[in-house]
Structure 1
């Protein structure tokens, strides 16, 4: 067998094995691409009337939110730009509840169980197939790895043999029979989306497999190991009030922020956990955040390790890529144009197993008809 025939067989059987999962991941990826925009249109409680007065401090909004969390603590409290609601949240491996409030008045706008949220459900399906993460994560990761191999093998199969074939590889012959149109859809659209799909697949594999995340970090850092995310420790022997410290640090950060930025206060779980602040310089994305850790009693800034420690601009290239992974995956890193690329890339990815299956079935039928025709000729009596 020639090299291209071997690649063709590999491409075919991997496609038949992983096709259903690739379709599912493509469709759910389409839904997640415009999550922020859809939420802005459908969730009116995210917005408040801008007022010419200061926000209520975190301690006051936290006290209000606690009344709606059924005895659970506030884990994070986010203030958006002027005109946006403030959000208090509790979350663990099972529960996730948010309380939306007017940051100027403390009025509760919405209490929502996010485990029943549509996009949250889609995200869990996209990541884990709604299975326990230990089971679903490697299944999705394996399908994504197969998809990456198929993209590479597809490019090899698509590559034209000569100059005469180049034009055909870049255009769809819409006026041809449906089998030819299907062939062109699979080959031409597959080629165009493959360059987007490679980024989608790689960023997906970073979540799916620790070994892949470690290898990616090793490559992009020039041979360094991926550092563990370790929080510094607060000193419980120092007298101090965590809520008061949080209010003071929040006010200090807020004074140096622009109206386009947002800030989140992450409260400690235990008596030795630090108090954390996250200043997002580009709300609507997750990567461009500066993380600060403080002693919860004294307010002293504490050093932290890991990719999510310190300022984004000061982070290494490898650590920046770790932070950017989700926003690259959904296209948000490039703004609205990037989301359109991710959306259409995911949509075409979902279509490829379908058009590929139709190609395979059509060829099988054609081969079967040819064998029947040959059989009839052989069985005809010689006169």
Structure 2
């Protein structure tokens, strides 16, 4: 029995040392990445609060929303571009969002036009800037590239600064994930009967004991979220990591020859809404053909409601010129609503449903692959998981600080402990 305890003590010491050096090596970057990630958790909500005039509308008494078709024509005439999609929210107090692509527009998602669905008034576009929007842009840059994308001159040879910043944050995140795993191993007490102590914070103890408990206990409670954030993050930094993650999930597919940056299986990494955006970009780039005659949007929504009988937000992707299939993504709404949406393919000429993709009916590995972004940023199940991720990310920000203090306190104890041991050794 004594031999087993000695072996475990050695193993525990090894992982403890590994945990220490992983934390010291990545600590500063982890603090920056986690703090910016904590703030960015509520990016959408903060941006909308700063631009309420774009997203919120007053609902008239007994008012009825105008047909989305008529508003489509207004947006097309005002923008001078082609409307590729419209988002129709379940919330009656929100605006309609029309995605427009104009000739020469190289932006990733095009321009969004916000329209009052009761008056037809154009409220503004996604190109409007606010102070909060700029601040959140800096938080995203800090989180992904440590603001190195803002530096014009290359810092390290010919390597683009954005890529350099991505490598640094990606490497630090990998070290952080390994630290989470090793931390779980050393969390287990030497005597299993004392495991309950690792679940409590002794608020009445000295500051050293309090700091130790804050590090160990809070890390344990947020462990699963820290692991999910850490294991998904590096895929945006390293193609080899992304490919390995896809192969692990069994969703890897070879990129077509000549494709850009070919993240194989990338279509499966997007959520339903992101997938719809991708389809819209492809549609906007196709060669012009004969235009298809569309039915009233209300007919498509009626078909979608029959196929997916629940309350939700709609995003309708109009068919590319010459195509006859219209795509609809429907997302459930609510505090515990899943981020991934269900998708429909509808015949534009007859409003008949050609194909239905229910997200929860997909194989487990495909659902995970389709939720990578949601797993990383925390909107997997709406505001419920966002709140959990916000708290977990805040804890992650504190771990390098509390961990370093634990290490410094142990360093101070070592000389005195040696002095106590010397007389005992002589006596023996």
Per the shorter chain, which TM-score range? 0.7 to 0.9
Q: What does the per-residue CA deviation read over 1:57-99, in whole Å, with 9 as the maximum and x for residues that have no partner?
A: 346436436636xx66555432212332012345855897533
The answer to whether the 8 Å contact 1:61/1:103 transfers is no
* Separation in structure 1 between the aligned mates of residue 354 and residue 167 of structure 2, nearest angstrom: 34
1:346 has 2:387 as partner: no
Equivalent residue of 2:343, what SS?
strand
- Which of 413, 420, 425 aligns to 1:366? It is 413
Question: Structure 2 vs 1, CA of residues 236 and 14 (structure 1 numbering), >3 Å: closer, same or farther?
Answer: closer
Q: 2:189 matched to 1:172? A: no
Match of 2:343 in 1: 290
Q: Match for residue 255 of structure 1?
A: 302
Question: Within 1, Cα distance between the matches of 2:288 and 2:50?
Answer: 48
Does 258-267 or 332-341 show the bigger shift?
258-267
Structure 1 SS opposite 2:112: strand
SS at match of 1:332: coil
* 1:47 counterpart residue number: 56
CA distance in 2 between counterparts of 1:235 and 1:67 reads: 23
In the alignment, structure 1 residue 327 sits paired with structure 2 residue 374: yes
| Structure 2 Cα separation of the partners of residues 302 and 137 of structure 1 | 43
Q: What CA distance in whole angstroms lies between the structure 2 residues aligned with 1:369 and 1:21?
A: 33
* SS in structure 2 at match of 1:67: helix
Alignment check: 8 A CA contact 1:115 1:121 kept = no
Structure 1 counterpart SS, 2:203: coil
Distance in 2 (alpha carbons) for counterparts of 1:303 and 1:128: 43
SS of aligned partner of 1:28: helix
Q: Provide the rounded CA distance (Å) in 2 between the counterparts of 1:85 and 1:332.
A: 22
Range moving further from structure 2, 195-204 or 312-321: 312-321
The CA RMSD measured in Å over matched residues stands at 4.1
19-28 or 178-187, which moves further after superposition?
A: 19-28
Q: Is the contact made by 2:243 and 2:252 (CA closer than 8 Å) also made in structure 1?
A: no
Q: Secondary structure at the match of 1:113?
A: coil
Q: What is the alpha-carbon distance in structure 2 between the residues aligned to residue 43 and residue 84 of structure 1? A: 12
Instruction: Check the 8 A contact 1:114/1:120 in 2, yes or no.
Output: no
C-alpha contact 1:78 1:262 (8 A) present in aligned 2: yes
Within the alignment, does 1:128 sit opposite 2:145 as a pair?
yes
Q: Tell me the residue number matched to 1:188.
A: 217
Partner of 1:111: 125
In structure 1, the residue matched to 2:327 is 277
SS class of match (1:281): strand
Equivalent residues of 1:74, 1:88 under 8 A apart: yes
SS at match of 2:67: coil
Q: What displacement does 1:293 show?
A: 8.1
Q: Is the 8 A contact 2:246 2:265 kept in 1?
A: no
| Change in CA separation of 1:240 and 1:109 when aligned onto 2, cut-off 3 Å | closer
* TM-score, with structure 1 as normaliser: 0.76
Q: Distance in 1 between matches of 2:353 and 2:138?
A: 36
Q: Unaligned 5+ residue runs, structure 1? A: 378-383
The equivalent residue for 1:87 is: 97
Q: Offset of 1:148 from its aligned partner?
A: 0.8
Q: 5 Å matches for 1:228-267?
A: 229=267, 239-241=290-292, 244-245=293-294, 248=295, 250-256=297-303, 257=305, 260-266=311-317
Distance 1:62 1:125 in 2: 40
What secondary structure, in the 3-state scheme, does the structure 1 residue paired with 2:332 have? coil
Deviation at 1:173, TM superposition (A): 1.9
Distance of aligned partners of 1:102 and 1:300 in 2 relative to their CA distance in 1, 3 Å threshold: closer
Counterpart position of 1:380: none
1:22, 1:143 within 8 Å by CA — same for their partners in 2? Answer: yes
Query: How far apart in 2 are the matches of 1:189 and 1:149?
Result: 17
CA pair 27-76 structure 1, distance change in 2 beyond 3 A: farther
Cα offset for 1:219?
3.4
Gaps of 5+ in 2: 1-8, 150-160, 255-263, 268-277, 424-428
- Looking at structure 1, the residues matched to 84 and 25 of structure 2 have their Cα atoms a distance apart, in angstroms, of 42
| C-alpha distance in 2 between matches for 1:344 and 1:162 | 30
How far does residue 342 in structure 1 lie from its aligned partner after superposition?
A: 0.9
TM-score normalized by the length of structure 2: 0.69
